[in-house]
């Protein structure tokens, strides 16, 4: 079922929309949540919370890119869950490492003025990603949005740990510029 049809079901308040959403996007949402939390039970809970959040926000919102909307919600819920659990207890600090690596590139959005700056940063990141090759773009999104581990990236791209670390370092350096 395509996204427009699923969204129509949300607007009609048909609960089957949740089943179609889980069928189409559940695996990807679970992948993202599990990469952040490193706990399958918590990740599954985050996917369920994502579906609930979608149910609560659609309508009135009608996302242009439904999959991206869901991924962002799942990521935010997972990060909140991770903060509640603390990185030392779960995930061996991998999520904290991801956030630390991007710390110099992305501002803290704790107040309204910084939220505007964050919007500009988002636009800058999008422009940056539009200007790099597809492999670099995929690597950046996998690492910093979906929380893919270095080992996972090594497997996905078939390269060494040094190559993955070097690639992500160079991408952060380009982004910072």
Co-location of 79 and 2 in the same domain:
yes
Please tell me the predicted confidence (pLDDT) of residue 119: 78
The tokens for 41 are 């039970």
pLDDT value, residue 108: 54
Domain-ending residue, one of 86, 104, 120: 86
86, 115, 145: which is the final residue of a domain? 86
Distance, in Å, from the CA atom of 31 to the CA atom of 140, rounded to the nearest integer, reads 16
pLDDT digits (tens, 9 = 90+) for 132-145: 999 898 998 888 88
Report whether 101 contacts 168 (CB < 8 A): yes
End residue of a domain, out of 86, 108, 143 = 86
Query: Looking at the predicted structure, is the pLDDT value of residue 60 above 70?
Result: yes
Nearest CA among 143, 33, 30, 142 for reference residue 77 = 33
48-52, 117-121, 145-149: the lowest-pLDDT one = 117-121
Structure letter (DSSP) for residue 91: G
Tokens, residue 174: 């380009």
The pLDDT assigned to 90 comes to 47
Query: What pLDDT is recorded for position 56?
Result: 93
Provide the domain limits for residue 17. Answer: 1-86
The 8-class DSSP code of residue 147 comes to -
**pLDDT > 70: percent of the chain:** 85
Q: What rounded mean pLDDT belongs to the chain?
A: 85
Supply the CATH number for residue 136's domain.
Answer: 1.10.10
- Both 79 and 130 in one domain: the answer is no
Q: For the purposes of burial, counting CB atoms within 10 Å of the CB of 64, is it exposed (0-12), middle (13-18) or buried (19 or more)?
A: exposed
d(CA 98, CA 171): 13
Q: How confident is the model at residue 87 (pLDDT cuts 50, 70, 90)?
A: very low
pLDDT at 126 over 60: yes
């Amino acid at each position: 079922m395509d996204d427009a049809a699923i969204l129509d079901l949300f607007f009609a308040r048909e609960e089957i929309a949740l089943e179609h959403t889980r069928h189409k996007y559940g695996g990807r949402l679970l992948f993202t949540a599990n990469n952040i939390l490193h706990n399958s039970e918590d990740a599954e809970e985050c996917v369920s919370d994502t579906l609930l959040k979608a149910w609560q926000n659609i309508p009135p919102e009608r996302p242009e890119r439904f999959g991206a909307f869901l991924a962002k919600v799942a990521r935010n819920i997972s990060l909140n869950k991770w903060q509640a659990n603390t990185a030392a207890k779960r995930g061996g600090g991998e999520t904290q490492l991801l956030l630390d690596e991007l710390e110099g590139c992305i501002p803290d959005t704790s107040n309204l003025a910084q939220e505007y700056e964050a919007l500009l940063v988002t636009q800058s990141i999008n422009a940056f990603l539009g200007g790099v090759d597809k492999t670099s773009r995929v690597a950046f999104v996998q690492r910093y949005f979906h929380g893919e581990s270095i080992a996972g990236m090594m497997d996905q791209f078939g390269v060494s740990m040094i190559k993955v670390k070097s690639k992500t370092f160079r991408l952060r350096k380009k982004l910072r510029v």
